[in-house]
Amino acid sequence: MGHTGKQVNQKTNILNATFRALKQHGLPHLSYDAIAKEANLSRQVVRYHFKDADTLMVALCDHLAAGYRDSLVSVVMNAKGEQRLELFIDYFLNIRPEFTKPEDDGVFDALFALTKGSEPLQTALRSQYMLLGQVLTHEFMLQYPHLPTQAAEEMSFLFVSLMEGHWKMVATLGLSPEHKTITRKAVDRLIQSYVNNHAEMEPLDKIWKQNSGI
C-alpha cells in the first residue's frame, strides 16, 4: 500500500513538473532531463513511470482534465437554474474573480501541437473536448428546454470554438486576456440569436462525435 502510494505521488509530481516545464520553457525545451530536474527526481525514475512521450503527454492531458472536473463540481455544478449556465460559461472565460480557471492555455497549445505526431494524444484531447461539448449541450437544454436539441449542440460547439480561439490568441499570440469580455459578449449574442430564431433545423450529423475519416 505504501509503495503504491509513493508511486502515485511520484507520478503526480512528474506530471506537475511536466506542466511547469512546458509553461515556463515551452515545447522546444521539453525533455526527460528537464522534467526530472523540475521534479527533483532522476531521469530513470521519470522513465520508469512514463516510458515514452505519448504515455506522458496523455497522462498530463488526463491530469489537467481531472483538475477541471474538480473545479466544475465544486464551483458550477452546485449552482441551480440560470446561474448554473452563466457560471459554466464565465468559468471557462475566466470572467469572475471569485473563481478562476487554471492558467494552462500555453500548455494546452503545446499538447495540440503534439497531436500531429501522436494519435493517442489526439484521441485523449478529442475525448475531453467532446465531453465538454456534451456537458455544455446538456446545460443549454436545461436552460432553454424549448430549443431543439440541434440548437443546443450547435451552441455548445460554437462556444467551445470561441473559448479555444480566445485563449489561443492570449496564450500563443500574447493578446490581452481582457479580450475575454469581447468573447463573453459574443457568446451572449450567439445565445440570443438561437433563442430568437429556434425554428427546427435540418440536422447536422454528429456534431460532438468523431469524424469517421480520422
Percent of the chain whose predicted confidence (pLDDT) is above 90: 65
Check residue 2 and give its pLDDT: 46
Nearest to 121 by CA among 53, 208, 28: 53
Check residue 7 and give its pLDDT: 66
The alpha carbon of residue 37 and the mean position of all alpha carbons in its chain are separated, in whole angstroms, by 27
Check residue 4 and give its pLDDT: 58
Q: Is 81 left (phi over 0), alpha (psi -120 to 50) or beta?
A: left
Band of the pLDDT at 56, cuts 50, 70, 90? very high
Of 7-11, 73-77, 145-149, 205-209, which one has max mean pLDDT?
145-149
Distance, in Å, from the CA atom of 50 to the CA atom of 14, rounded to the nearest integer, reads 9
Hey, what CATH class is 1-51 in? mainly alpha
Nearest to 207 by CA among 146, 166, 148: 148
- CATH topology for the 52-214 domain: Tetracycline Repressor; domain 2 (1.10.357)
Same fold, 1-51 and 52-214: no
Q: Identify which has the larger pLDDT, 177 or 78.
A: 177
pTM of this prediction?
A: 0.84
Range 162-167 average pLDDT: 94
Given a cut of 60, whether residue 212 has pLDDT beyond it is no
Band of the pLDDT at 136, cuts 50, 70, 90? very high
- Locate the domains of the chain by residue range: 1-51, 52-214
Residue 93, C-beta contacts closer than 8 angstroms, at least 6 positions apart: 163, 166, 180, 183, 184, 187
> What confidence tens digit (pLDDT) does each residue in 2-37 have?
455 666 699 999 999 999 999 988 888 899 999 999
Q: Identify which has the larger pLDDT, 124 or 214.
A: 124
Given a cut of 90, whether residue 165 has pLDDT beyond it is yes
* Mean pLDDT estimate for the chain: 88
Distance, in Å, from the CA atom of 172 to the CA atom of 110, rounded to the nearest integer, reads 10
Check residue 1 and give its pLDDT: 42
CB neighbourhood size of 16 (10 A): 14
CA dihedral 64, 52, 122, 160 (to 10 degrees): 20
Range 80-109 average pLDDT: 88
